Amino acid sequence: MRVLITGAAGFLGSHLCDRFLAEGHRVVGMDNFITGHADNIAHLQGRDDFAFIEHDVSRFIEVPGDLDGVLHFASPASPVDYLEKPIQTLKVGSLGTHNALGVAKAKGARFMMASTSEVYGDPLVHPQPETYWGNVNPVGPRGVYDEAKRFSEAITMAYHRHHGVPTRIVRIFNTYGPRMRPGDGRVVSNFIVQALRGDPLSVYGDGSQTRSFCYVDDLVDGIYRLFMSDRAEPTNVGNPTEFTVRELADLVLRMTGSTSRIDSLPLPQDDPKVRRPDITLAREVLGWEPRVPLEEGLRRTIPYFAQLVEHQAARTL
């Protein structure tokens, strides 16, 4: 297959490029580097089976040649990014998804949209199945991301029903691993970088809120299986093992050997109290479930951030 992956220089997008290339497909990557980074795909440059187009998908997308698949993963995806770039976040979720769907329709390609567990908001149902409609504040600060993704899902299903575009929607839960940005505000990268630097770990509220952390290799495997399946409706992909934020902080401190203290900060508005996927559908339809436990995933991730922190320290000398 020849596939277009938007957001190709981002954390997940770059790992997806690796997976599709490893499976023998050809990849056209697209990114405007608002939150992605060229370093994430530097190892792919010069390959015959990889091409890159620098472009903002909120504008009309043109890709020469045939395409068998379009995977739309372009979007700011961390609170720091979408709170700093609210308009871009809404535009990539609306105009960007529309443009990516247009390419898929024109090329007769399969389309996959990267949605998020944020469509469930601060959930009143736990764990969250795909049938749950969510509890989202549409006008709160986080609404720019939540509603952008909810719109993206709606227009994707409209293209499926009205135009017959073969679509896939993956609802992604908290994911971590190498190539995350150290300052992106996500809890795993925040804690690791703070611990390695000896800075206080920022725990919002009392740390009793829960999250479910999926290692990136597991997540990409689930995404790839969903893309190759026939399921058009939204599908949860994430790790159903639940941890409190305080448990994660304690684990990071232990694994890094850090003596950092833990600082309690005010809980952000609309921050979900619980977050855990019901992956019954992924197990039954895709034969997928995560294999990497949190401690093993952190063991694979910490050296990546240790190298970044070391390089940053060296530059300041």
Write out pLDDT tens, residues 188-224. Answer: 999 999 999 999 999 988 999 999 999 999 999 999 9
Nearest to 131 by CA among 186, 171, 191: 171
Write out pLDDT tens, residues 226-285. Answer: 999 999 999 999 999 999 999 999 999 999 999 999 999 888 887 788 999 999 999 999
**Confidence check: pLDDT of 58 > 80:** yes
CA distance 211 to 117: 11
What CATH number does residue 229 fall under? 3.40.50.720
**Confidence check: pLDDT of 183 > 90:** no
Catalytic site includes residue 145: yes
CA distance 14 to 71: 12
Confirm whether 310 is domain-assigned: no
Confirm whether 152 is domain-assigned: yes
**pLDDT level of residue 170 (50, 70, 90 thresholds):** very high
Confirm whether 71 is domain-assigned: yes
Confirm whether 133 is domain-assigned: yes
Residue 16, pLDDT score: 98
Confirm whether 285 is domain-assigned: no
CA distance 45 to 52: 8
Query: Contact 270/141 with Cβ under 8 angstroms?
Result: yes
Residue 79, pLDDT score: 86
Write out pLDDT tens, residues 127-153. Answer: 999 999 999 999 999 999 999 999 999
Query: Contact 49/79 with Cβ under 8 angstroms?
Result: no
DSSP characters over 200-252: PEEEETTS--EEE-EEHHHHHHHHHHHHHS---SEEEES---EEEHHHHHHHH
Whole-angstrom CA distances from 29 to 13, 240, 249 are 8, 30, 35
CA distance 96 to 4: 13
Question: Which residue's entry shows tokens 């530059």?
Answer: 315
CA distance 257 to 251: 10
Question: Which residue's entry shows tokens 């567990």?
Answer: 117
Q: Average pLDDT of 3-27?
A: 98
Confirm whether 272 is domain-assigned: no
Confirm whether 7 is domain-assigned: yes
**Confidence check: pLDDT of 108 > 80:** yes
**Confidence check: pLDDT of 317 > 60:** no
pTM of the model: 0.95
| Domain extent at residue 30 | 2-174+215-237
DSSP characters over the chain: -EEEEETTTSHHHHHHHHHHHHTT-EEEEEE--SS--GGGGGGGTT-TTEEEEE--TTSPP---S--SEEEE--S--SHHHHHH-HHHHHHIIIIIHHHHHHHHHHHT-EEEEEEEGGGGBS-SSSSB-TT---B--TTSTTHHHHHHHHHHHHHHHHIIIII---EEEEEE--EE-TT--TTS--HHHHHHHHHHHTPPEEEETTS--EEE-EEHHHHHHHHHHHHHS---SEEEES---EEEHHHHHHHHHHHHT----EEEEPPPTT--S---B--HHIIIII-------HHHHHHHHHHHHHHHHHHHHHHH-
Confirm whether 271 is domain-assigned: no
Q: Average pLDDT of 62-78?
A: 96
Average pLDDT, the chain: 95
What percent of the chain is predicted at pLDDT more than 90? 90
Residue 312, pLDDT score: 80
For 57-61, 66-70, 190-194, 312-316, which range has the lowest pLDDT when averaged over its residues? 312-316
Query: Contact 244/43 with Cβ under 8 angstroms?
Result: no
End-to-end CA distance of the chain, in Å?
48
Split into its structural domains, the chain has a count of 1
Catalytic residue among 82, 120, 132, 145: 145
How large is the C-alpha radius of gyration of the chain?
19
Nearest to 177 by CA among 29, 47, 290: 290
